[in-house]
Structure 1
Amino acid sequence: MRKVEIAIVGAGIAGLSCARKLQQAGHEVIIVDKSRGLGGRLATRRLAGTHADHGVCYIKPKGDAFIQLIKELQAHQIIHPWTDGIHRCNQAGHLHPPAQRSTYYVAAQGATTIAKYLAQDIEVIHDQRVTSLTPIENAWQLQSKDATLELTASNVIIAIPAPQAVDLVQYIAGFDAACLNKLKAVEFSASITAIATYPASFQATAQQTPWQGIQYIDHRDLSWIGLDSSKQINPPKPTVIVQSSAKFADRYFEAEDRQSIGQKLLDRAAELAPWIAQPEELQVHRWRYAFATNPFDERFLEAHAHAPLYFCGDWCGGDRVEAAYLSGEALSQSII
């Protein structure tokens, strides 16, 4: 049984930002994540000859702490300015140019490169879903469903969506009821993402598109259309990301034929750009916990337990990537 000082469950941006600061301060940290990659919704899908960001669409910093990270990422040539405005579209299909101008940043090699940068020199155990958290003496024992993970930690940080955190801690004998109620109060909306590529012959048509990203306002089916290939330098072919509304996801989340659902999204997007309805390749991804619709109002949550146990994520104080980063930073500073 391996013993560590701090174990973090979840390699999204909250877990990574927290781990980075703790390790820089001299703490022993290890991250355990259920997936093969890093970043959570900082997700990049590798496609034939290209890639596309099917989670976070862009980064638009607001606060000073996140702006400092943006400057650091720019200095290492990981991100670059993408556009100075996002178009808006209403339920009636009326497209409006950006009302305000500000810089939106993206990663030319995919959003996952941001997570990889933050994870430098941090030990990450991949492909291990933590399903059991057991109190032992002054520590916690973490185990996976197949019991291949056996790890004990003096401190545990749960950096996953609140509903998943509830599943992990609700059956711990005598667990902090007030903390559990706060976790249960957090609510999320789902989203379905269509990831589409097009023949290189469509490149000229795509480049003539008068927008790079469209945010839909109160639309029945759509929340976002992005010309994702415009983030790349000399893209080999056009790629488009279409994200559903929460209402659309509620209707079709459990549908077995994902391809037809993805095509529905492309067909709706084609009302503004007809060529989008004719993909060369179409993949679909479902996000069960896309956006926190009822977030926790503080940067992190601490449970009253026999050993330190904390919770952080984008659902702490917001619902976006900046909230996730600030949540991890705030928790690390508290521990330090």
Structure 2
Amino acid sequence: MFNQSSQSPLIRRIAVVGSGLAGLTAGLKLKHQGHSVQVFEKSRGPGGRLAAKRVPGGSADVGAQYFTARNPAFLPFLQEFAGESAFARWQGRFGFRNDRGEWDSFPDDPRYVGVPRMTAITRALSAHLDLKAETRVGAIRKAGSSWTLVDTEGAILGEFDQVVITAPPAQARDLLADSNLHELAQELDAPVTKVLPCWAVAAHFERPLPSDYEGMRVEHPVLYWVANNSSKPGRDDAGQWWVLHANPEWTDAHVETPPQDVANLMIDALRDLLGCTDAPDNVVTHRWLYARSADSDQPGHLWFPDHNIGIAGDWLSGGRVEGAFNSACSLVEAMSGRD
């Protein structure tokens, strides 16, 4: 059922559910082909995992921390549709600490970030599309050879020839099930179990913390990733904002723990990691229930030609930010009959 070519006629109207990088990439590429594209986003604005929290004096990236560009088409795409000023290379020092406490350097791949925050990229991309924010799609109803989308209040959102879903697998499965598309929903049962949660904390310190690295991937009982967010280009912070990501196992055990308690425990872990006693003067938390996929069996995208419904997302293509772009590109090719 996956990755088959569409036999349907030329698409006139396409709905894209979700405005993360996968949804915006699919929308832009489909629009470039001459189709009419409408993007629906349940939040106040685009972003997905390219998320940032407003903090005093600026913002802190609480979602994806950076992205690579191994696909030679990725950077040109961003340059064309987001603009060169929307992102820049993060010239930080990156280290990995194993479970024995030994440090080593990351592979020397160029790493990029949005400027002045990760959401700068998705906001710039979305400017080229018809985006309807604060709209949660509740169901997809068959209307002859088309689909009618309705929101969770039952209001009709429009009629479309094809639908692209870029929500996390659990939310995509719920949407399909609520649309009585149970066979398609069952295709997501296994992927749902492979998506890992993540607690994120942004903490501000008045003075620099002692660290040889600006970004750290660590094997730690609590932490998975630690970064000096203020070291990224375009961040004009007084003091330092540090972003901490908990590991999936710890997050799963503390998924219902109050945010302030989570923050205290994660900041204690940061002090243990860096060997310091500094206390932050401002803390922000965010719980990601659907952070990244641990599934190694990733087909790139899902395309159901008999239904004219496609699914894309980073969880279908390696889990990295760039995977969202790759997944959307491969889905659009399938929709165009070139897969």
Length-normalised TM-score, structure 2:
0.88
2:151 counterpart letter in structure 1? S
Distance 1:276 1:148, change over 3 A: farther
Q: Distance in 1 between matches of 2:156 and 2:133?
A: 10
Q: Secondary structure at the match of 1:77?
A: helix
Q: Secondary structure at the match of 1:287?
A: strand
Distance 1:75 1:158, change over 3 A: closer
Q: Secondary structure at the match of 2:66?
A: coil
Q: Equivalent residue for 2:229?
A: 228
**Deviations 1:289-329 (CA, angstroms, capped at 9, x unpaired):** 10111255222112254x41111111112211111111111
The alpha carbon displacement at 1:100 in A equals 3.1
- Once superposed, what is the RMSD of the aligned Cα atoms? 2.2
Distance 1:105 1:334, change over 3 A: same
The count of residues paired between Structure 1 and Structure 2 equals 322
1:263 counterpart letter in structure 2? N
The correspondence of residues 1-336 of structure 1 with structure 2, limited to 5 A, is: 5-69=13-77, 76-83=84-91, 85-92=93-100, 94-98=101-105, 100-173=107-180, 175=181, 177=183, 179-186=184-191, 187-199=194-206, 202=207, 205-206=208-209, 209-217=211-219, 219-233=220-234, 234-255=236-257, 257-274=258-275, 278-294=279-295, 297-305=298-306, 307-336=307-336
The alpha carbon displacement at 1:222 in A equals 0.8
2:308 counterpart letter in structure 1? P
Q: Is the 8 A contact 2:205 2:278 kept in 1?
A: no
The alpha carbon displacement at 1:70 in A equals 5.7
1:321 counterpart letter in structure 2? V
Q: Distance in 1 between matches of 2:126 and 2:144?
A: 30
Q: Distance in 1 between matches of 2:79 and 2:13?
A: 31
Distance 1:235 1:248, change over 3 A: same
2:149 counterpart letter in structure 1? L
Distance 1:149 1:265, change over 3 A: farther
The alpha carbon displacement at 1:277 in A equals 5.1
Length-normalised TM-score, structure 1:
0.89
Q: Distance in 2 between matches of 1:83 and 1:95?
A: 23
Q: Is the 8 A contact 1:79 1:108 kept in 2?
A: yes
Distance 1:146 1:245, change over 3 A: same
Q: Distance in 2 between matches of 1:273 and 1:279?
A: 14
The alpha carbon displacement at 1:69 in A equals 3.7
Q: Distance in 1 between matches of 2:91 and 2:256?
A: 35
1:132 counterpart letter in structure 2? A
**Deviations 1:178-231 (CA, angstroms, capped at 9, x unpaired):** x433311112010000111223xx1xx24x6321000013x3211100000111
Q: Which runs of 5+ in 1 are unaligned?
A: none
1:313 counterpart letter in structure 2? G
Q: Is the 8 A contact 1:141 1:153 kept in 2?
A: yes
Distance 1:23 1:136, change over 3 A: same
Q: Distance in 1 between matches of 2:128 and 2:156?
A: 21
Q: Is the 8 A contact 1:87 1:96 kept in 2?
A: yes
Q: Is the 8 A contact 2:293 2:315 kept in 1?
A: yes
1:270 counterpart letter in structure 2? R
Distance 1:157 1:67, change over 3 A: same
Q: Distance in 1 between matches of 2:99 and 2:32?
A: 48
1:154 counterpart letter in structure 2? D
**Deviations 1:268-304 (CA, angstroms, capped at 9, x unpaired):** 0111335575111111101111011125522211225
Q: Distance in 1 between matches of 2:84 and 2:73?
A: 17
Q: Could you tell me the percent identity over the aligned residues?
A: 25
The alpha carbon displacement at 1:5 in A equals 0.5
Q: Distance in 2 between matches of 1:27 and 1:152?
A: 14
2:46 counterpart letter in structure 1? L
The alpha carbon displacement at 1:80 in A equals 1.6
